[in-house]
Amino acid sequence: MEFYDLFEQETANLVAAAEKLVDLFDNYENVEAKAKELKELEHRGDVITHEVIARLHRTFVTPIDREDITLLVHSLDDVMDFIEAAGRTAFLYHIAQPTDRARELARIVVKMARKLNEVVPRLRRRDQFPWILKQCVEINTLENEADDVQHAALAELFEVCSTNACEVIKWREIYEHLENATDKGEDVADVLEGIVLKHA
Per-position DSSP letters for 85-137, written without gaps between them: HHHHHHHHTT-SS--HHHHHHHHHHHHHHHHHHHHGGGGG-GGGHHHHHHHHH
Closest by Cα among 135, 7, 132 to 71 = 7
- Please tell me the predicted confidence (pLDDT) of residue 177: 97
- Please tell me the predicted confidence (pLDDT) of residue 165: 76
- Please tell me the predicted confidence (pLDDT) of residue 162: 55
Closest by Cα among 23, 30, 28, 16 to 80 = 16
Q: Which domain holds residue 90?
A: 3-199
Distance CA 172, CA 22 (A): 18
- Please tell me the predicted confidence (pLDDT) of residue 139: 96
- Please tell me the predicted confidence (pLDDT) of residue 5: 95
- Please tell me the predicted confidence (pLDDT) of residue 167: 81
Positions of the chain with pLDDT under 50: none
Say how many domains are in the chain.
Answer: 1
Q: What is the pLDDT of residues 72-121, one digit of tens each?
A: 999 999 999 999 999 999 999 999 999 999 999 999 999 999 999 999 99
- Indicate the helix (H) or strand (E) that contains 165: helix 165-199
Return the CATH number at 43. Answer: 1.20.58.220
